[in-house]
Amino acid sequence: MNKHAKGEGGRGDGGWLEFIPPQMPTLVEQPPEDEGWVREADLDGYRTQVVIDKGGVRLYSKNGWDWTTKYWPIALAVELPCQAAILDGEVIVSGERGTPDSSELEAAVWNEPSRLVFVAFDILHLDGRNLAHLPLLQRKQALRRLVGPGVGKIQYSEHFEGGALAIFRAIGKTGLNGVISKRADSHYCSGPSKTWLKAKYSRKPISNSQG
């Protein structure tokens, strides 16, 4: 496997798109309660970037390693209405309850790749346009139009608006590990981020204090 060169805006020579280092959430004890945030379930999968261009479909790990051969069923399933795109998301495998099962993920990658699913939660490039500078909600709208709702190998990650603690508790009841809070108006910036905050679900009582 070769590590792909990283390029600003995802543009490479000759119309090829390049891997973009991902934006990484900061771990916090509790999700923020002030306005202006949207919530997504913490899928606890393998962070993955899907790159589509004239060279075909490639899938990269969060460190930029080409994992297309490991994720080949996903690569074969990518049939989106675009010529070029960069999608950010996670590779997961569903458990018995239909929720992601991180304990089975590594085994599935090596032994049952047909079980793997890519869940997209962001889009950084689309048909010659760099979308990273757009507000998150605009990027999510573009992503939803491209991927569409529903099940399959390529899925769209829905977001939730409203009180963080209520959503946090609801997600915890599903067996998921936590919630990612993202600023609705934030741009996409590679590296550690304070506009993406990850809170792990705990069975301990959750207080309303942010202290």
Question: Domain range for residue 35?
Answer: 21-200
pLDDT in tens, 8-61: 456 554 579 999 999 999 999 988 988 899 999 888 899 999 999 999 999 999
Strand partners, 125: 86, 130
Instruction: Give the pLDDT of residue 6.
Output: 42
Q: What is the CATH number of the domain that holds 65?
A: 3.30.470.30
The verdict on residue 192 lying in a domain is yes
**How far is 23 from 190, CA to CA, in rounded Å?**
4
Residue 207 has pLDDT above 60, yes or no: no
pLDDT digits (tens, 9 = 90+) for 118-141: 999 999 999 999 999 999 999 999
Question: How many domains does the structure of the chain reveal?
Answer: 1
Q: Which residue type does 60 have? A: Y
pLDDT in tens, 53-65: 999 999 999 999 9
In a domain, 64, yes or no: yes
CB 164 within 8 A of CB 181: yes
What is the predicted pLDDT for the residue at 95?
60
Give every CB contact of residue 22 below 8 A, 6+ residues apart in sequence: 47, 49, 62, 88, 190
Among 21-25, 49-53, 71-75, 90-94, whose mean pLDDT is lowest?
Answer: 90-94
User: Is 5 part of any domain?
Assistant: no
Q: How far apart are CA 57 and CA 85, in angstroms?
A: 10
- Give the model's pLDDT for residue 9: 52
Is residue 140 included in any domain, yes or no? Answer: yes
Phi, psi of 100 (to 5 degrees): -55, 140
**Beta carbons of 80 and 74 less than 8 angstroms apart:** no
Residue 176 scores a pLDDT above 90:
no
Determine, yes or no, domain membership for 6. no
